Structure 1
Amino acid sequence: MKPMQVIPAIDLRGGRCVRLRQGDYDRETVFGEDPAAMAGHWQQEGATRLHLVDLDGAKTGRPANVEVVRAILDRVGIPCQLGGGVRTRETLEAWLDAGLDRVIVGTQALKDPDWFAQMAERHPGRLVLGLDARDGRVATEGWLDVSTVEATELAGRFDGLPLAAVIYTDIARDGMLEGPNLEATEALASRLKTPVIASGGVGSLEDIQRLATLPVAGVIVGRALYDGRFRLSEARTCAGEEPKTP
């Protein structure tokens, strides 16, 4: 079994660290007023990568929490990836220039596949396809709209590009701690050559263990870590990312 990377999520809204339930902006829980301090905490706990989401940017279509992200990048020395509001080449390249390791694109990949393909070729290994699905169909605009396009169809369309990864999120499970959509995740990961990162619904170490048996490269964990359901070190051990202590 290959090690699976466990990636803590830091969702940003109004400069604070929050989590939403099922992508609902009206169902928000604030977990911290200082996202940079939170990022430092996860690095200290052993994180090898952080997943940042500009929730305000995802909703408005343009970057919103820029200074907060810069503070995070100044604080930590591990790779960070960010999604939310990346709709133009200028925005994408500004984030890469700011020090992000990867930039995640979702809405614009569906709206303008040719543009996304061009950006992926221009920045090989730096772009991630954010595949957010509700009932198997791709959701866009910060999950506010659901398209008629099947998630597997969109992912397959881009599978030949030099992408860093595909992040698959089942919106119905995100923030609910009821377990990830193992069947859909496995189906997607088995079909693609591009590495797949699972997201949404992880609520226990058993969920991590189950995902580790699938052909996925990583898992993004949010609310379960913030709620203290398990420690990051425990999750990394279950994922084979951190050796068990004797």
Structure 2
Amino acid sequence: MEIWPAIDLRGGKCVRLRQGDYQQETIYGEPVEMAQKWVSEGATCLHLVDLDGARDGSNANLAAVKSIVEATKVPCQLGGGIRDEHSIERMLAIGVYRLIVGTKAIKDPAWFREMCRKYPHQLAAGIDARNGLVATDGWLETSGVSAIDLARDFQAEPIAAVIYTDIARDGMLQGVNLPAMTDMKRAITTPVIASGGVTTVDDIRQLAAAGLDGTIVGRALYEGTVTLQGCLEAAR
């Protein structure tokens, strides 16, 4: 199982939000330094989130993303603000390994399918859920669409993965929603990367045992409730 250390970007800084709340932000420093730290500790891939892009569709953190990609030389997946083909082209051009499309994939699934076919295995569906229902627009809106139904709708396309986030657990250090993650993994053939709530290495072991293809680890690394080495060992 892959371990994707998270680097959330806002205003050019590395930050963490509680449950996606922009009013509950902790700043952890310079993004490139943090990225290099995780790679030096054994990370083979990085999960980047453009929080400004997720909220308003801007590319305010483009320079930071480019710097991380160039400095680390490991696969970096990026989510936040990927809502048109121009954004896809621009981010792939600077070396981003994989792009996560969330809001636009949900609101315009025909467009997302077209993009998946045009950029095969370079796009992932970012499915964020609250109580099993899809949330959009930087988690500000909750739809009436089932997360699993949405994932099933996309699995016939050449998508790289489903990044499945449980919003209620994200940034709360309360453990993963193992039943929800397991249900998603069993429901589709597309690779599933779990996100939200990883707190201990036991969370990692449980996700790996359930067959998840990867997991994103954020606040637990920054707060020190796990070490990256411990996560990598548990994933193996």
TM-score range normalised by the length of the shorter chain: over 0.9
Q: Distance in 2 between matches of 1:211 and 1:196?
A: 11
* Corresponding position of 1:243: none
Q: Contact 1:46/1:232 (CA < 8 Å) preserved in 2?
A: yes
- Residues 72-111 of structure 1: matches in 2 within 5 Å? 72-111=68-107
| TM-score between the two structures when normalised by the length of structure 1 | 0.95
Q: Contact 1:131/1:167 (CA < 8 Å) preserved in 2?
A: yes
Shift of 1:93: 1.2
Q: Alpha-carbon deviations, 1:210-231, whole Å to 9, x = none?
A: 1111121000000000111121
Shift of 1:31: 1.2
* Corresponding position of 1:17: 14
1:212 aligns with 2:198: no
Match of 2:28, as an amino acid? F
Q: Distance in 2 between matches of 1:28 and 1:19?
A: 6
* Corresponding position of 1:116: 112
Q: Which runs of 5+ in 2 are unaligned?
A: none
Q: Which runs of 5+ in 1 are unaligned?
A: 241-246
Structure 1 runs of 4+ with >2 Å offset: none
Number of residue pairs aligned between Structure 1 and Structure 2 = 236
User: What is the aligned counterpart of 1:54 among 33, 36, 50?
Assistant: 50
User: What is the aligned counterpart of 1:178 among 170, 174, 187?
Assistant: 174
Q: Distance in 2 between matches of 1:134 and 1:27?
A: 18
* Corresponding position of 2:223: 227
* Corresponding position of 2:193: 197
Q: Alpha-carbon deviations, 1:179-212, whole Å to 9, x = none?
A: 1110011001001110000000000111111111
Q: Distance in 2 between matches of 1:124 and 1:91?
A: 16
Alignment RMSD (CA, Å): 0.7
Match of 1:115, as an amino acid? W
SS at match of 1:173: coil
Match of 1:237, as an amino acid? E
SS at match of 1:172: coil
Identity %: 54
Q: Contact 1:62/1:87 (CA < 8 Å) preserved in 2?
A: no
SS at match of 2:111: helix
Match of 2:195, as an amino acid? S
Match of 2:33, as an amino acid? A
Match of 1:140, as an amino acid? T
Q: Distance in 2 between matches of 1:160 and 1:71?
A: 34
Q: Distance in 1 between matches of 2:53 and 2:62?
A: 10
Match of 1:40, as an amino acid? Q
| TM-score between the two structures when normalised by the length of structure 2 | 0.99
* Corresponding position of 1:148: 144
Q: Distance in 2 between matches of 1:186 and 1:93?
A: 33
1:8 aligns with 2:22: no
Match of 1:19, as an amino acid? R
Q: Distance in 2 between matches of 1:189 and 1:179?
A: 18
SS at match of 2:17: strand
Shift of 1:135: 1.1
Shift of 1:62: 2.4
* Corresponding position of 1:236: 232
Q: Alpha-carbon deviations, 1:2-30, whole Å to 9, x = none?
A: xx111100000111101111111111111
Match of 2:133, as an amino acid? R
Match of 1:217, as an amino acid? D
Q: Contact 1:61/1:141 (CA < 8 Å) preserved in 2?
A: no
